[in-house]
Amino acid sequence: MAKRGAFIVIEGLDRSGKTTQVTTLQARLETEGIPVKLFKFPDRTTAVGNMIDSYLRSQSELDDRAIHLLFSANRWELATTIEALVSQGTTVVCDRYAFSGVAFSAAKGLPLDWCRSPDVSLPAPDVTLFLDITPEKARERGGYGEERYEKEEMQRKVRDIFRDISSEFDKGTWVTIDAGREREDVAVDVWKCARPLTSGLTSPVQRLW
């Protein structure tokens, strides 16, 4: 069976260092000669992404359900591309995914099952690396508080929901990493989890959820 690329998702609270870590991971994979492509959700560059961006910057108001569905639509509009890349042997690294979708909307009070349903049958990551940080520590980092959800109370709820979600996965497919440490220490753990997956998976990509 032909080898495919890995589908690696990095999740976490706001300011946990996801973008920093996906960028480092991409560079390391490239150094090893492993074909890699980065995705980021929300992808603010699409038409749907523009609406999400405006909402997050509090420049527009939307019903909680409407914004939830837009976040999901934003994943669906890139799902085919992600699957095609992975099956052609490219490793896809993704900065946030459906788990952020569920955690943030459920933290606002929407029922968890309702939150999951629009993401059902999206490609499932081979591993989700969850960057865990206390809201207190996250707040000390650059740029915190600029966007809609960057408030401690909200972040605390989101963290609890992420923990509930993590308990549904086995240790191989969901890894919690202490993101309150130095960048390089976090990167070492990310690399340890990601590297083995890129040596040639043959099993088909699974589906959420």
Site residues, ligand T5A (CB under 6 A): 12, 14-20, 41-42, 56, 71, 96, 100-101, 104, 141-143, 147, 149, 182-183, 186
**Segment near Na ion (CB under 5 A); pick from 17-25, 103-111, 126-134, 180-188:** 17-25
User: Is residue 23 within the footprint of Na ion (CB under 5 A)?
Assistant: no
Cβ nearer to Na ion, comparing 20 with 166: 20
Q: Residue 14 binds which one of ligand T5A, Na ion, none, with CB within 5 to 8 A depending on kind?
A: ligand T5A
Cβ nearer to ligand T5A, comparing 6 with 25: 25
Cβ nearer to Na ion, comparing 38 with 175: 38
SS3 state at 181 = coil
SS3 state at 150 = coil
Whether the CB-CB separation of 8 and 205 falls below 8 Å is answered with no
Q: Residue 198, by phi and psi: left (phi above 0), alpha (psi -120 to 50) or beta?
A: alpha
Cβ nearer to Na ion, comparing 4 with 15: 15
Give the whole-angstrom CA distance, residue 1 versus residue 96. 30
According to CB under 5 A, which one of 11, 15, 19, 45 is a site residue for Na ion? 19
Q: Terminus-to-terminus CA distance in the chain, angstroms? A: 25
Closest distance of CB 83 from Na ion, Å: 23
Closest distance of CB 19 from Na ion, Å: 4
Closest distance of CB 95 from Na ion, Å: 6
- Order of strands, sheet of 174-178, starting from the edge strand that comes earlier in the sequence: 36-40, 91-95, 7-12, 127-132, 174-178
Nearest to 176 by CA among 129, 126, 137: 129
Cβ nearer to ligand T5A, comparing 33 with 142: 142
Nearest to 98 by CA among 121, 64, 131, 66: 121
- For the window 63-92, what string marks contact with Na ion as x by the rule CB under 5 A? ------------------------------
Give the whole-angstrom CA distance, residue 107 versus residue 160. 9
Helix (H) or strand (E) holding 23, with range, is: helix 18-31
Residues in the site for Na ion, rule: CB under 5 A? 19
